[in-house]
Amino acid sequence: MRCQKCRSEASLEIRRHHAAFCATHFLDFFERQVERAVETGKMFTREDRVLVVVSGGKDSLALWDVLCRLGYQTTGLYINLGIGQYSEESQQKAAAYARSLGAPLLIADIPGEFGMGVEQFASATGRASCSACGLSKRYLFNRVALDHGFSVVATGHNLDDEAAVLLGNLLHWQTAYLARQAPVLPSTHPRLVKKVKPLYRIAEREAAAYAVIRGIDYIVEECPNSVGAKSLLYKEALNLLEQAAPGTKQSLYWGFLERGLPLIRGEDDPVLRACQYCEQPTTAEVCAFCRMTERAADRMRIRRCHEQSLSVARSSGEANRARSSNPVPPHAAATHGDLPL
């Protein structure tokens, strides 16, 4: 197989484009696809300050790299979600890459700010881990962007991510989510920052190839909480289809953007107001993130109180007898103290 530009040995075949490239011309192809996404989607210009949110994985680091090379003004943001070793390693990859790029990296530290990570948010509120994690990321992307004066947030979602989410949304006819599946989500409120996905024209294996060719050291492991996630199943299903019919993912997602999205877009945007606690835009009085962290903090206080009363009870036989006949209801203790929000 030969590179279609220079006829030397090709390193990568891109079947959906009936194309093959050597490493150098693949990098050109990749840059062109990203530039095209940014320009046709009017995502941002070279005058904008772009907050690139990086997980330490191949997609977001490849995105940051290519945007820097294309001459955009970028700053990275890494969010420590408090998922043990996985978060620590991801942060190291993101920080090491920022140093090699010579670009600024902001770090938002969830355990540092809230005293617990997203898994504890999830268990305290009965949410699935991925849902608590997604909510926390969306919230912090917006809050950090606002706090630091960025007009746009760019994520590393690629074509495979978008096609898999679309398939899930179609299977369950999630029309509200479908309407938000565009690669550009404009700001619809002064405190809601524009969100863009400049890699929506790039397949996952192409992002991996870009990272490898450029020598980007990224975290290879998947998040431990994603094991068994539906989105991985949808990706596998789409990979099977793609093998048999190259271009399936692209025609599903790009076809949706061209023909599906205009049909459902007419629905009114929800009315947004400022969260009573944090002033982030929300449709309710208190935003979903503040509600989640508030409940999790309550649970934490209840548990601490419980533990304290147990240890007091254990160290005093008298107290032990008194408590077992007249236990303190945990929620009574939880009403003390202000929320740390």
Q: Which residues make up the interface to ligand AMP (CB under 6 A)?
A: 53-55, 59-60, 77-79, 81, 137, 155-157, 161
Q: Which residues pair with 74 in a beta bridge?
A: 50
CA angle 115/120/121 to nearest 5° reads: 90
Residues in Cβ contact with 224 at an 8 Å cutoff, skipping those fewer than 6 apart? 83, 84, 86
**Are the beta carbons of 212 and 220 closer than 8 angstroms?**
no
Which partner from the list ligand AMP, Zn ion, none does 165 bind, CB cut-off 5 to 8 Å by kind? Answer: none
Question: Which member of 86, 177, 254, 277 binds Zn ion (CB under 5 A)?
Answer: 277
Nearest residue to ligand AMP, scored by beta-carbon proximity: 156
**Interface size with Zn ion, residues (CB under 5 A):** 11
Question: Which member of 106, 213, 278, 334 binds Zn ion (CB under 5 A)?
Answer: 278
Question: Which member of 5, 138, 189, 191 binds Zn ion (CB under 5 A)?
Answer: 5
CA angle 193/198/200 to nearest 5° reads: 120
Q: Which one, 156 or 281, has the nearer CB to ligand AMP?
A: 156
Q: Which one, 105 or 144, has the nearer CB to Zn ion?
A: 144
Q: Which one, 155 or 280, has the nearer CB to ligand AMP?
A: 155
Q: Which one, 155 or 169, has the nearer CB to ligand AMP?
A: 155
Cα 22 from Cα 10, distance rounded (Å): 4
Give backbone dihedrals phi and psi of 275, rounded to 5 degrees, phi first. -60, 140
Least separation, in Å, of the C-beta of 151 and ligand AMP?
17
Which partner from the list Zn ion, ligand AMP, none does 290 bind, CB cut-off 5 to 8 Å by kind? Answer: Zn ion
Q: Is 333 exposed, middle or buried (0-12, 13-18, 19+ CB in 10 A)?
A: middle
Which partner from the list Zn ion, ligand AMP, none does 287 bind, CB cut-off 5 to 8 Å by kind? Answer: Zn ion
Q: Which one, 22 or 296, has the nearer CB to Zn ion?
A: 22
- The DSSP secondary structure of 132-182, one letter per residue, reads HHHHHHHHHHHHHHHHTT-SEEE----HHHHHHHHHHHHHTT-HHHHTT-S
Least separation, in Å, of the C-beta of 8 and Zn ion?
5
Which partner from the list Zn ion, ligand AMP, none does 254 bind, CB cut-off 5 to 8 Å by kind? Answer: none
Which partner from the list ligand AMP, Zn ion, none does 277 bind, CB cut-off 5 to 8 Å by kind? Answer: Zn ion
* Closest residue by Cα to residue 132 from 340, 341, 293: 293
Least separation, in Å, of the C-beta of 125 and Zn ion?
15
Residues in Cβ contact with 36 at an 8 Å cutoff, skipping those fewer than 6 apart? 201
Question: Which member of 154, 287, 292, 297 binds Zn ion (CB under 5 A)?
Answer: 287
Contact call for residue 211 and Zn ion (CB under 5 A) = no
In single-letter form, the type of residue at position 307 comes to E
What is the contact surface with Zn ion in residues (CB under 5 A)?
3, 5-6, 22, 25, 275, 277-278, 280, 287, 290
